[in-house]
Structure 1
Amino acid sequence: MNAKRKLLLLIALALSLLLIMHRSQIKKNLEKIDYCRDQEKEEPQLSDWFNPKKRPDVITTTNWLAPVIWEGTYNRPVLEKYYKRLNITIGLAIICVPGKFSNQSLTEFIQSANKHFMFGYNVIFYILLDGFSTMPSIVLGPLRTFKLFLLVKSGIEKDFYFTYMTNLFNYIISHIQYEVNFLFVMNADQIFKDDFGVETLGKSVAQLSAWWYFKDGDTFPYERRSKSAAFIPFEEGDFYYHSAIFGGTVEEVLNLIEEYQKGVIQDIENQLSSIYEHHLNKYLFIKKPTKLLSPEYNWDPSFRTPPQIKCVKIAWQSKNI
């Protein structure tokens, strides 16, 4: 345990040093983006493209005034006109969980994303695998490309998400931050069914869980052990977020990963273990997301579809769980 703890502390120290070293570069990149935006038409106000009154049947605005994106609430052409002028690039890092991942699921995910994810924009798919021999053949349309990264094992080999996030953090620092304006992290066990467009872009974008949106908050499966870094007390919390989708600016994704790493290390020191989704929910409870995606953006088709779900953007593949 002492050796593992030392290794984890070294990993945390290395991540912190990398973040400090490159934070100034990230700031410069953001300043460049802001400068470009200043030279273009002013960014649309929320009221220019978002109308919460169009969906009185659901929650469309949080108590911290973040929009919840449902079908019918947004005017995508207004945003298209703005983002097209900026010539943005969106990254999509794909999580292939061992035991659930297969070449078929990855192929289906990428094929559907090629058709529906940010159509008409520059997109880079980032695929992290423990061996390139498992990579299926991929054919992409215009403005789309992919990059393969080797998944190097961490000090906690049984915790896949810790390994994945540690690797993703390093690749963001060394490569991804220089290539994209926004970055999404998504699980491969889902299929795009309809357009996932620029209405989803924001500083910090969280996905509402289809399994828990229509249930009482007291039943949310938060981490309830008080000694855990992911702890959320009963009668607290806003929503339950699904770990299958998270996105935002590069800096925000780095912040999430950094806090997640710290939480895992703290839990291990207290002889605890909590899943990635619990840490994600704790992070978003403390640092509220600036945009929420409704369950339409990640619906489980094995459920009876209620009338509130007007258009399924992504279907979760329960058969792979």
Structure 2
Amino acid sequence: MDKKNLTVSMNLREMLNFRRKVLLVVLLALSFMLLKRYFRNPAELRLSDWFNPRKRTDVITMTDWLAPVIWEGTFSREALRKHYHTQNLTVGLAVLAVGRIADKYLEMFLQSANRHFMAGYRVIIYVMTESHRMAPGTNVKAARSFQVFTIPDDIWWHDPDIVRMKTLGKHIVEHIQHEVDFLFSMTASQIFQNDFGVEALGLRVAQLHAWWYFKDAKDFPYERRPTSTACIPFGQGDFYYDGALVGGTPLEFLDLIDVYLNGVANDFQKGLNSSYESHLNKYFLLNKPTKLLSPEYNWDSSFFPPPQVQYIKVAQHSRRRV
């Protein structure tokens, strides 16, 4: 072999060796990321270890797809506490607070969350609000912190739900997915009244609508226009879900946001404008929630609670007044 060919052969071998090293580094990095993700996802308890649907025979406690419906009395706080206190858990709570709703309710929301939301666990509260507002003044407990995401003052009012989801999706990708194990999204017009704890954690968590839970399914206000991405035809649908409270893991939340924004874009091209709640209900029809929260977790304060609602966790200021 002449000198020129020998040099080429050596260069090829060096390139192959370099590529092997790069591939090895990539594989090691991916392995590390998978291990990190594995240890960030708390191991699940068996449902029977903490949940007893027979404790509440007056309400629906299990769906057709065997997801638990969480009512007061159906779960063991002690079993959950023993499990989750070993998990090094961090929970995120995102809230949109703009305009007069922020003026009236944001401080009350934050004070109540500071007292009742995931007490005893690390919590990061993400506040999405206009750029002119100051950071929240609430004194937070130890192991709790705030992050403020500013929204330009001149865009949120076009469609607050789209702005909220775009903003939240951007931050989930950039950092939230690395900061928290579970994430909830709420509105500032809600106030925590009692403990809202780890019984609510799950892969995909849906909130049963307090009003429509007690109504006939044929009357649910689903999107019915066949050309809409959010359409649920008559005769289909499981429950009616409330858009004011949604939870899950960050990556599952990101999937919801992606499907919602794509659905909005598709409808816009057809001259349609379906609500966020309509898209949410279609999403949960196709992607069943792994846990459902009873109306106790978001009761409309303008209605007197029926006997089934024994322990209100969150009160929603009447939407007719906000």
TM-score under structure 1 normalisation?
A: 0.86
Cα distance in 1 for partners of 2:30, 2:89 equals: 16
Cα distance in 1 for partners of 2:153, 2:104 equals: 24
Cα distance in 1 for partners of 2:136, 2:156 equals: 27
Contact 2:300 2:316 in 1 (8 A): yes
Does 2:187 match 1:187? yes
Contact 2:131 2:153 in 1 (8 A): no
**Residue in structure 1 matched with residue 138 of structure 2 by the alignment:** 138
Contact 1:44 1:78 in 2 (8 A): no
Contact 1:230 1:279 in 2 (8 A): yes
Q: 1:190 to 1:156 in 2, by over 3 A?
A: closer
Structure 1 position 285, deviation (Å): 0.7
SS in 1 for 2:237: coil
Structure 1 position 83, deviation (Å): 1.1
Cα distance in 2 for partners of 1:222, 1:127 equals: 29
SS in 2 for 1:175: helix
**Residue in structure 2 matched with residue 34 of structure 1 by the alignment:** 38
**Residue in structure 1 matched with residue 24 of structure 2 by the alignment:** none
Structure 1 position 304, deviation (Å): 2.3
What are structure 2's unaligned runs of at least 5 residues? 1-28
Cα distance in 2 for partners of 1:253, 1:307 equals: 33
What's the RMSD between the two structures over aligned residues?
A: 2.2
Cα distance in 1 for partners of 2:156, 2:141 equals: 38
Contact 1:103 1:134 in 2 (8 A): no
SS in 1 for 2:214: coil
**Residue in structure 2 matched with residue 285 of structure 1 by the alignment:** 285
Contact 2:98 2:129 in 1 (8 A): no
Deviations along 1:84-143, one digit per CA (max 9) or x if unpaired, are 1111100000022545x1333000001000000000000000011121435442211111
Deviations along 1:254-312, one digit per CA (max 9) or x if unpaired, are 00000000000000010100111111111001100000000001111221211101100
Q: 1:37 to 1:272 in 2, by over 3 A?
A: closer
**Residue in structure 1 matched with residue 73 of structure 2 by the alignment:** 72
Structure 1 position 153, deviation (Å): 7.9
Structure 1 position 244, deviation (Å): 0.7
Structure 1 position 28, deviation (Å): 6.7
Equivalences for residues 1-321 of structure 1 within 5 A: 31-35=35-39, 43-99=44-100, 101-152=101-152, 158-318=158-318, 320-321=321-322
Structure 1 position 35, deviation (Å): 3.6
TM-score under structure 2 normalisation?
A: 0.86
Q: 1:31 to 1:279 in 2, by over 3 A?
A: farther
Contact 2:299 2:316 in 1 (8 A): yes
Cα distance in 1 for partners of 2:209, 2:297 equals: 9
Deviations along 1:179-223, one digit per CA (max 9) or x if unpaired, are 100000111111100000000000000000001000000111111
Cα distance in 2 for partners of 1:26, 1:262 equals: 29
What are structure 1's unaligned runs of at least 5 residues? 1-24
Q: 1:291 to 1:230 in 2, by over 3 A?
A: same
**Residue in structure 2 matched with residue 5 of structure 1 by the alignment:** none
Cα distance in 1 for partners of 2:211, 2:114 equals: 26
Cα distance in 2 for partners of 1:278, 1:27 equals: 39
Structure 1 position 159, deviation (Å): 1.7
Structure 1 position 27, deviation (Å): 9.9
Cα distance in 2 for partners of 1:75, 1:235 equals: 36
Deviations along 1:147-205, one digit per CA (max 9) or x if unpaired, are 01112589896222111211111111112111100000111111100000000000000
Contact 2:68 2:292 in 1 (8 A): yes
**Residue in structure 2 matched with residue 19 of structure 1 by the alignment:** none
Structure 1 position 31, deviation (Å): 4.2
Cα distance in 2 for partners of 1:316, 1:236 equals: 28
